[in-house]
A and B are shown apart, each in its own frame.
Chain A
Amino acid sequence: MRKGMNWLLIGVSLLLTLCWAGPVLAEVTLEVLSPRGEIVAPPTLSPSPRVVDLTGKKIGIYWNGKQGGNNFWDVVEELLKEKLPTSRILRFRGPFDLGERLAGTLAKECDLFIYGVGD
């Protein structure tokens, strides 16, 4: 009788343990391919060394012509002239992509330049 009770207790304990542990869950793994295209990085270029002192320098301002940007750059020009009376401000405008010819002109005529795209 006692032996039977023991087996019953063992059985109940096992059942309870299984219930507490919860059902054994299977894992599903989805392996998918990357949709991204490979990018061949272009060669990197360093920005030009900075001009430590702007006094007497030729400062270019390039604007892509988007309307209202001219008002902003007019004020910037005035402020630069106030701060740097001996510097010259040269204004340029054209498409957002300078192109080699215009970039060459800027490099030739200016000591440094600001590229202001207007948006």
Chain B
Amino acid sequence: MVTDNFGHDARSAAEDSGMPTLRMVKVPAQEFYKRRISKEEIKPVALESINGLIDALTRPLTTQEANPKPKKVEMSKAIRITAESYELAVEKFNQSFLDNHWGDGLPLIPPTQKRVKWMLAGTGRSPHEVIGTVAPKNGTATIEKIAINAVMAGAKPEYLPVIIAAMEGLTDKNFDLLHVATSSGSFNLLIMVNGPIAKEIKMNSGIGFLGHGWRANNTIGRAVRLSLVNLGYLWPAENDMALIGRPSSHTFYTFAENEENSPWEPYHVSFGYKKENSCVTVSTVGSYEGGMTIYGGGAVAPWTAKSILEKMIKDMKNDRRIFGLFKRGVANPAAHPRKYIMMLHPECAIELQRLGYTRESLQKHFYESTSVPYEDLSQEEIKGIQERIEASIAGGIILADVIPQSRIPVFKEVLKPGGKVPVVISPEEIHIIVGGGIPGYTFSISYIKAPYAPTSHQTKLIRGATLTKAGR
């Protein structure tokens, strides 16, 4: 059973799972969501659907239903568009691509063979190399297809290796692309570039770093957006069910870490990469719930690094969702533990470094300062975390609620008098990034633990570049 506004999404998911003739009974979304508050309220909706439900369960399958044929997707290599002038042909191309759901609503650059070849000159990798499949419909991402989408986005060939690395992160089997691409929760993507390539391709990491006006930032993000549309067959209100859309959805939050003004090693170096390596980090972040919270900085009011740190810790500590809200079999977004992106503006990071913090010790400080003494937990919270531990061991619960096996001994150990119970799964779930200019703002963006795959955060090495000194 499904609400009618999710009917297309459900049918699409059934096709993707090899069951195109799965029977579905729809209930009107307009009635269901507002009436589900109580049994009395929802009863008319159930009454309306009960006969349809029994019919779907008992009416013999038709020959067509019993012998489903896979939905064939016609693939044309080249598309010819004819018009009276070049301008009209470009207009016709844009309208046709948008009508087919192959665009993003902004004008596209026509991906002619010549222009795609030009784009492919940015990488030494074979155009036929497959880097993975793209959720939700699992279209194959080849280097050539990514290049076609990069052309449409207005990218330059020297950006292509960055775009490919971002797509490698998103198509990694461990990365939960399905949730960020399709969830009604309007989650969003952060795409961060580290290493010398960022400067070579002129990425913005200073004032306005999440905004418009920088071709590299904007078209790298847009190429990823178009690749998700065309390789994942993603479309709003069909299988991308973001109810309020996704902020900055044409380009995502694409930027470079401000390595120049950071007091610490670049972010990717903390993952074992060399400073001279160039990397892309993709990470799912919140938009409204879990969206940006500013803790200080700016040009208007004075601030201290200590006061910013205290405010961040206070907010994290108040988020006690890991303890008491979990209940087996009940989907409750407010019960999913969090991942944090802590975006420090350079001055704040420099001050924290003067106070003796490294990136690693700051992660640890957040983790330890926000842990709650066992004695301060209510009986309900103790029961909640115990049940979460048990369910994590037994399995059969959504991944967003699970404490990974490697962390269960840690939680068991502290769940007793004298122990301090963490509000986040591990210090590694708190990512410290230096972003923005001088002055800047320090803010956090948080996300829940990924629900459909092990992680929502991936860092990938940029390689194969031919037009830049870095990323080769």
Task: Report which A residues bind B (CB closer than 8 A).
Answer: 25-47, 49-54, 59, 64-69, 71-72, 74-76, 79-80, 83, 93-97, 99, 101-102, 112, 114-119
Contact = CB atoms under 8 A, between A and B. Distances in A.
A44 B68 contact: yes
Nearest to A36: B230
Interface of chain A, main secondary structure: loop
A97 B58 CA distance: 25
Contacts, number: 220
B316 to A, nearest CB: 25
Given A31-B79, A47-B21, A65-B331, 6 more contacts: A29-B82, A39-B138, A39-B140, A42-B70, A75-B39, A118-B331
Contact of B226 (A35, A97, A112, A115): A35
Contact of B84 (A27, A66, A67, A102): A27
| 6 closest cross-chain pairs (CB), A and B | A37-B139, A68-B36, A37-B231, A93-B329, A65-B331, A41-B70
A59 B399 CA distance: 27
B148 interface: yes
Nearest to A97: B452
B395 A101 contact: yes
A66 B331 contact: yes
Contacts of A75: 39, 42-43, 46-47
A13 B233 CA distance: 58
Given A37-B145, A102-B396, A79 B330 contact: no
Nearest to A80: B50
Among B39, B86, B230, max chain A CB count under 10 A is at B39
Nearest to A65: B331
Nearest to A74: B39
B44 to A, nearest CB: 9
B406 interface: no
How many of chain B's residues touch chain A, expressed as a range? 35 or more
B22 interface: yes
B75 A35 contact: no
A42 B17 CA distance: 7
A51 B58 contact: yes
A34 B39 contact: no
A42 B184 CA distance: 26
A49 B97 CA distance: 41
B36 A64 contact: no
B2 interface: yes
A44 B18 contact: yes
Contacts of A46: 21, 61, 65-68
21 contacts: A31-B80, A32-B81, A32-B93, A32-B111, A37-B133, A37-B231, A38-B73, A38-B139, A41-B70, A44-B70, A47-B22, A47-B66, A49-B60, A54-B58, A72-B27, A72-B32, A75-B46, A76-B50, A83-B50, A114-B1, A119-B2
Contact of B58 (A41, A52, A67): A52
Interface string B7-39: 000100000111111110001000011001111
